[in-house]
């Protein structure tokens, strides 16, 4: 009986922890891949599944390279990025763009 209580408590704790982690990401979409095009206010990224997604950004978008805050000027075609974006109607708007330290080796 004591073992069953321990299992139940552990299961409840894990469920609460996973729920909190999922809630922390909110309704953000995560886009990971290689930058294939840069325009004035958008990045096009070839994702790990081969699709190309265009993500808008503005002055409120946070750009990071490692732990350092940088500007969009650090993003280049070939840069690997991880983007947290919110959906707005039929478009994506970047809240945060994390730039990889090393560029992608090749475009597939």
Banded model confidence at residue 27, pLDDT cuts 50, 70, 90: confident
Whether 23 maps to a domain, the answer reads: no
Whether 70 maps to a domain, the answer reads: yes
pLDDT digits (tens, 9 = 90+) for 30-82: 999 999 999 999 999 999 899 999 999 999 999 999 989 999 999 999 999 99
For 58, the 3-state DSSP assignment is coil
Whether 105 maps to a domain, the answer reads: no
**What's the average model confidence in pLDDT over 76-101?**
94
Going by C-beta distance under 8 Å and a sequence separation of 6 or more, which residues neighbour residue 50? Answer: 108
Question: What does pTM read for this prediction?
Answer: 0.70
Count structural domains, the chain.
1
User: Is the pLDDT reported for residue 18 higher than 80?
Assistant: no
Identify the CATH number of the domain in which residue 66 sits. Answer: 2.40.50.320
Residue 32 to residues 10, 84, 85, Cα–Cα distance (Å): 33, 9, 11
């Amino acid at each position: 009986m004591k073992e069953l209580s321990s299992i139940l408590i552990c299961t409840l704790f894990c469920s609460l922890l996973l729920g909190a982690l999922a809630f922390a990401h909110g309704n953000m979409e995560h886009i990971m891949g290689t930058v294939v095009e840069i325009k004035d206010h958008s990045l096009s990224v070839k994702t790990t599944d081969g699709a190309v997604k265009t993500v808008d950004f503005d002055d409120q978008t946070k750009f990071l390279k490692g732990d350092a805050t940088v500007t969009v000027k650090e993003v280049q075609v070939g840069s690997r990025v991880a983007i947290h974006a919110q959906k707005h109607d039929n478009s994506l708007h970047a809240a945060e763009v994390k730039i990889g330290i090393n560029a992608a080796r090749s475009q597939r």
